[in-house]
Amino acid sequence: MRLRIRLAKLGLARFLSHLDFQRVVERGLRRAELPLAFTQGFNPHPRISYASALATGTSSEGEFIDVDLTEPVEPEVFLARANAALPPDVRLLEARPAPEGGESLMALINAAEYRLRLEGAGEAALRQAVDRFMKTEHVVVTREGPSGSRPVDIRPHVYRLTVDGPGELRALVQTGSQGNVRPEEVVAGLRQLSSELAEAEFLRAHRLMLYRRDPETGVCAEPWSL
Amino acid sequence: MTETLRERIERVLPRVSKPARYTGGEWNAVVKDHAAVDVKVAWTFPDAYEVGMSHLGSLIMYHQINRREDACCERAYAPWTDMEKEMRAEGIPLFTLETWTPVRDFDILAFPLLYELTYTNLLTCLDLAGVPLCAADRTEADPLVIAGGPCAFNCEPLAPFLDVAVLGDGEEVIHEILDTYKAWRDEGRKDRRELLRRMARITGCYVPCLYEVTYNPDGTIKEYRPTEPGVPTVVDRATVKDLDRIDFPTRPVVPNTQIVFDRAQVEVFRGCTRGCRFCHAGYITRPVRERSPEIVQRLAREIVQNTGYSELSLVSLSTADYTDVRQTVSRLSDELQCQGVNVTLPSTRVDAFSVALADAVSKVRKGSITLAPEGGSARIRRVINKTVSDRDIRDAMRAAFRSGYRAVKLYFILGLPTETDADLEAIAEKGRWALEIAEEELGRQEARKVRVTISVSVFVPKPHTPFQFEPQVRLEEARRRQEYIKRFLKDRRIDYKYHEADVSHIEALLSLGDRRVAGAVLRAWQMGARFDGWNEHFDYNLWLRACAEAGVDVAFYTYRRKGYGERFAWDHLSPGISREWLIDDHRRAMAEVEVDDCRWENCDLCGVCMRYDVLPTLKPAGFVGEDDIAVTDSTG
């Protein structure tokens, strides 16, 4: 049996790297004494697959994993037992049986929604910058990579960008194997378009949800039924 | 609205490397209400989180303190240099991970001392905590600063900074320390010196400021004299007599981020009487005290259950020597395998039995196996009493290749007493042996894939060992010897590694130093020395400048041969071995005579058992079961 689970990485746990997060989740599920299915081979590990890596420093309530089990467990029972064995800042929020024969989570996911918080950004200035951003065809920012930095046009991969309140943005961007727009790149793009935002401090990014976005229609589906 | 300490910490974390070092929130971390406890201890590890969290002794002591209802223990670690900079810029004091409480607000600051090159980090921690560096400047309002661990047996280079150093096993003495502190505090927290006086009366507790040191005209020590009545002339170590009666942590803190030893650990025995003459641990932890196999197995099961670790390590100074090692390993291995947990042994003794044992538990793909002959030639192994024969080494190599290993790591020490170039050539020869044996066992074709690593460290004479009288090899000579070995290693399958000799030189200074060396530690720290045990931070020239400014002659401490009659800085800090025995053993070393292990052979009268009324305790298996793993003593 395979369960699909939505998790949250909250509070100080946002400073865990993706590798650390995986370690914490695996150890928690081991402690919970759930009937985990293990990989074969010399170094058996529970079969847990992740939808997408989350950047260190970003919190989330929209992480997804698939967990293979050797016998059926009621989703509510699974959540209760796992949460009792996990640190308080790592929470399992929702569990449902994973669809039969579907694609892997990693292959499915291609979009992520974030909430971004900026300090020292007036709401009017923010709205104006967002408006310009969405009307522009190209927003080129510098992407830092392991082999140096290079310019990238993020505009085509930012699907939606709105102002949610004072200093608060919501962004739907590309994520996954085809490409990844990072929250700080969206903020960097906005700064380019508005001198008033130059002084604003980018405080936090929080991932809200992961989606399968249809490139034709732009319709986004949560990973449950895919 | 003023920012809370936690908010300030959160604000700097995005700017530092590995922020998970500072967040806490780990599974099994103990968070207590400070208002509900009498004594608060900040266990402050003077190295990075990933090193400190790997230290079993710290996990044991955390448990010992927290199991008391009237006490709490929280953890702090030396911040990495980027974090230190941020903390200073933002005015963030050293804080504990459990509750983000400033370390200064605790009653006791406890530092484990495992490695001399963490001493400057200890000063960083005190300074960031806002505690006066020098014990003499502290008042009744400051926490009590204590330190323990192996380096406490010569903590003189830290003497001015410590209120109390604790010698020996900490599990029982810590309770005396906490009770004594409580009593003093309940009486109104008056007169810090009175607290220190009371501490000095506890067996295992050394209070440096209660001793006066005088020196001879030649710079050697004349005398250590207690300055007050009731203060012992020689401080005896604290000794746990029976490990089975000691509570072992079955709910250790599980790190969220990667640490050095990221696995469950059960200590199977303490002490080692093999008598390797260079080994500090082998003399300060005598005699061997084993934990019963049934208890080891119960602890292992509980720890795996409570942590979720996928690896369990049976630890000690030489686990293959554990009396019931075969059955314990075999039972645990069988039992834990179905939970996806591997059993591992931390080190491999150099013989075929140990290789077979390592092989039997190794469920992971055959990586490399590490063997430590320590000395290249049979002659020098007699000098250092590393009682493995050339045949043992060959058998171990053969067993390793037969059981599927394709990489062998060989550890040696360079600069050992009496060493000649012939001994160095013998180190290189062991690399060639490994390749020859690989070809015999695997054929020429397969043997091409074999990798042999020869790793050579520089000998550091340690206090309380028979080699405490010996000088360290001079730096330039150590470097010549490192290069000399290289000449004999031509095969590209041999990877030759050696440790930086200048790091070992400063380690020797801090190992063998006396109170006067404290000035150099302080000066080096003021000049910016941090994380000296890390190659990327160590600065030899900085240390030389610091020593020069502090008037410390490094050669006097490190390059000088000491007489049998010389008074050492650590003679009043006793692990129980008599000076006479160490002299005899040094003479035996020079005569290339080995001593037996008192576990299996005659007692050599080192004196520890008699002095501390403690006996070697071996806990054999109850019976030999059919589930014994197939381990053969000979390679047949």
Q: What is the DSSP string of A95-115?
A: EEEPPTT---HHHH--EEEEE
Cβ contact, residue pair A43, B363, below 8 Å: yes
Q: Which of B13, B22, B256 sits opposite A24 (nearest CB)?
A: B256
Distance CA B181, CA A37 (A): 51
| Residue of chain B whose alpha carbon sits nearest to that of A30 | B308
Q: What is the rounded average pLDDT of the residues B621-635?
A: 46
Q: How many CB atoms lie within 10 A of CB B279?
A: 20
Residues of chain A above pLDDT 90, percent: 81
Q: Residue B359's pLDDT is what?
A: 79
Contacts of B551 (CB under 8 A, 6+ apart): B516, B519
| Residue of chain B whose alpha carbon sits nearest to that of A58 | B14
Residues A49 and A144 both lie in one domain:
no
Q: What is the rounded average pLDDT of the residues A46-73?
A: 96
Query: Does the residue A226 lie in any domain?
Result: no
Residues of chain B above pLDDT 90, percent: 89
Q: Residue B630's pLDDT is what?
A: 44
pLDDT tens track for B127-140: 999 999 999 999 99
| Residue of chain A whose alpha carbon sits nearest to that of B264 | A27
Distance CA B250, CA B302 (A): 6
Residues A49 and A60 both lie in one domain:
yes
Contacts of A158 (CB under 8 A, 6+ apart): A133, A134, A139, A171, A172, A173, A174, A181, A186, A189
Residue B631 has pLDDT above 50, yes or no: no
Q: What is the rounded average pLDDT of the residues B335-352?
A: 86
Domain boundary among A107, A137, A170: A107
Going by pLDDT thresholds of 50, 70 and 90, the confidence category of residue B189 is confident
Domain boundary among A58, A74, A107: A107
Residues A88 and A120 both lie in one domain:
no
- CA B434 to chain centroid, in Å, comes to 30
**DSSP code at position B86:** H
Residues of chain B above pLDDT 70, percent: 97
Q: On the CB side of A24, how many CA atoms lie within 13 Å of its CA?
A: 30
Chain A partners within 8 Å of B256 (Cβ): 13, 16, 20, 23-24, 87
Choice between A122 and B45, residue whose per-residue pLDDT is larger: B45
Residue B347 has pLDDT above 80, yes or no: no
Q: What is the mean pLDDT of chain B?
A: 94
Cβ contact, residue pair B364, A42, below 8 Å: yes
Residues A58 and A100 both lie in one domain:
yes
- The count of structural domains within chain A is 2
Is the CB of residue B606 less than 8 Å from the CB of residue B282? no
pLDDT tens track for B481-499: 999 999 999 999 999 999 9
Query: Does the residue A163 lie in any domain?
Result: yes
Q: How many CB atoms lie within 10 A of CB B439?
A: 16
Domains and CATH numbers, chain B: 5-167+170-236 (no CATH), 243-513+569-612 (3.80.30.20)
pLDDT tens track for B101-134: 999 999 999 999 999 999 999 999 999 999 999 9
Domain boundary among A49, A84, A107: A107
Residue B628 has pLDDT above 70, yes or no: no
Residues A114 and A217 both lie in one domain:
yes
Residues A97 and A123 both lie in one domain:
no
The pair of structure tokens assigned to A89 is 């800042």
Residue B364 has pLDDT above 80, yes or no: no
Residue B591 has pLDDT above 60, yes or no: yes
Q: What is the rounded average pLDDT of the residues B289-303?
A: 96
Chain A partners within 8 Å of B364 (Cβ): 42-43
B76-100 b/e (C-beta count within 10 Å ≥ 16 → b): bbbbbbebbebbeeeebbbbbbbbb
Query: CA torsion angle for B300, B306, B312, B316 (degrees, to 10)?
Result: -60
Is the CB of residue B72 less than 8 Å from the CB of residue B37? yes
Residues A142 and A199 both lie in one domain:
yes
| Residue of chain A whose alpha carbon sits nearest to that of B305 | A31
Query: Does the residue A167 lie in any domain?
Result: yes
Chain B partners within 8 Å of A38 (Cβ): 340
pLDDT tens track for B5-62: 999 999 999 999 999 999 999 999 999 999 999 999 999 999 999 999 999 999 999 9
Cβ contact, residue pair B20, A44, below 8 Å: no
Residues A113 and A215 both lie in one domain:
yes
Chain A partners within 8 Å of B27 (Cβ): 24, 27-28, 31, 85-87
Q: What is the rounded average pLDDT of the residues B615-619?
A: 91
Min Cα–Cα distance to chain A from B7, Å? 11
Query: Does the residue A60 lie in any domain?
Result: yes
Q: What is the rounded average pLDDT of the residues B67-88?
A: 98
Q: Where are the beta strands (DSSP E) in B239-318?
A: 264-267, 269-270, 289-290, 311-315
Residue ranges making up the domain that contains A45: 2-107
Query: Does the residue A128 lie in any domain?
Result: yes
Residues A151 and A179 both lie in one domain:
yes
Cβ contact, residue pair B340, A87, below 8 Å: no
Residues A33 and A103 both lie in one domain:
yes
Q: Choose, out of A9, A18, A22, A27, the residue to mutate when testing the contact with B (most B CBs < 10 Å).
A: A27
Distance CA A165, CA A173 (A): 19
Q: What is the rounded average pLDDT of the residues B398-413?
A: 93
Q: How many CB atoms lie within 10 A of CB A98?
A: 22
Is residue A165 helix, strand or coil? Answer: strand
Q: Model ipTM?
A: 0.91
| Amino acid symbol at B269 | F
**DSSP code at position B317:** S
Chain B partners within 8 Å of A57 (Cβ): 13-14, 19
Going by pLDDT thresholds of 50, 70 and 90, the confidence category of residue B415 is very high
Cβ contact, residue pair B23, A20, below 8 Å: no
Distance CA B400, CA B23 (A): 42
Cβ contact, residue pair A44, B19, below 8 Å: no
Distance CA B467, CA B456 (A): 19
Min Cα–Cα distance to chain A from B79, Å? 16
Residue A92: CATH number of its domain? 3.30.70.580
Interface residues on B facing A, Cβ-Cβ cutoff 8 A: 10, 13-14, 19-20, 22-27, 254, 256-258, 305-310, 339-340, 342, 363-365
Residues A157 and A173 both lie in one domain:
yes
Query: Does the residue A81 lie in any domain?
Result: yes
Query: Does the residue A24 lie in any domain?
Result: yes
Residue B409 has pLDDT above 70, yes or no: yes
Residues A98 and A124 both lie in one domain:
no
Query: CA torsion angle for B262, B265, B271, B276 (degrees, to 10)?
Result: -40
Looking only at the bridges linking them, the beta strands covering A59-68 and A111-119 are: unpaired
Min Cα–Cα distance to chain A from B538, Å? 26
Distance CA A129, CA A194 (A): 6
pLDDT tens track for A133-151: 999 999 999 998 888 899 9
| Residue of chain B whose alpha carbon sits nearest to that of A36 | B339
Query: Does the residue A27 lie in any domain?
Result: yes
Torsions phi, psi of B130, nearest 5? Answer: 80, 25
Cβ contact, residue pair A12, B310, below 8 Å: no
Asked which of A211-225, B200-214, B365-379 is least confident by mean pLDDT, the reply is B365-379
Q: Residue B366's pLDDT is what?
A: 67
Chain B partners within 8 Å of A34 (Cβ): none
Residue A214: CATH number of its domain? 3.30.70
Going by pLDDT thresholds of 50, 70 and 90, the confidence category of residue B79 is very high
Nearest Cα to Cα of residue B295 among B250, B334, B326, B330 = B250
